[in-house]
Copies of this chain bind each other. A is one copy, B any other.
Amino acid sequence: MSPRARSSDAATVRRPAPTTERGADKRGAILQAALELFVERGFHGTAVPEVADRAVVGAGTIYRYFASKEALVNELYQRHKSLLSGRVLRDFPLGASAREQYGALWRRMVKYAQDEPLGFAFLELHNHASYLDADSKALEERITNFGLEFIRQAQHRGDLRPVEPLLLIGIVMGAFIGLVRKSAECGLVLDDAAWNTAEQCVWEAIRV
């Protein structure tokens, strides 16, 4: 909880968030505006009234839907983290070779980064930030552990370099994020061909 927060303690009665159709629209508009601004200027760099302005909503309205600025950023984090991991893990080719599994992982991350560029940038930017709550951190850890187990199994079958699994995760995820960043910052063109090339390059780093 931010030192500046004067907010109600747990005992305070908080009016429940609106449940009407109109309400759902506003909630979505607030989340979208906050997503954009947090990506542009960071969490501490964006003011709540700015979010309200972009969402075309009164500043007070935000507090009908979210308990605090921190609650807002955490909902955004969990929402997009779940969306990404859901997309990556749904119908994951459990029985396939390590090469195919890696390819599936890569392609799904590419699709997410293309479909939800702001969501991807947001996750990258707010990873391990101090204002994330226990739930957000637990979600992150569950996903990492899932990946670790997978890598260990593939290594056990002799399908992946027998190297500390975290190191492989660091290389693959780091390279992926590095590409997205160079695209955003230096204009690297990431069309399908480029993504496929990159997939092949990074595979060479982790294959046996």
Measuring CB to CB, which residues of chain A are less than 8 angstroms from any residue of chain B?
Answer: 40-45, 127-128, 130, 144, 161, 163-164, 166-179, 181-183, 185-189, 194, 197-198, 201-202, 204-207
Contact = CB atoms under 8 A, between A and B. Distances in A.
A4 to B, nearest CB: 10
Given A144-B186, A171-B201, A179-B170, A194 B44 contact: no
Contacts of A45: 43-44, 130
A166 B188 contact: yes
A184 B205 CA distance: 22
27 contacts: A41-B44, A42-B42, A43-B44, A43-B45, A44-B45, A163-B197, A164-B189, A166-B186, A166-B187, A167-B194, A167-B198, A167-B201, A170-B182, A170-B183, A170-B188, A170-B198, A171-B179, A172-B178, A173-B178, A174-B176, A174-B177, A174-B178, A174-B179, A174-B181, A177-B178, A178-B178, A205-B205
Nearest to A163: B197
A128 B187 CA distance: 13
A205 B174 CA distance: 13
Copies of this chain held together in the complex: 2
B144 A167 contact: no
B204 A167 contact: no
Nearest to A197: B163
A198 B183 CA distance: 24
A167 B197 contact: yes
A46 to B, nearest CB: 9
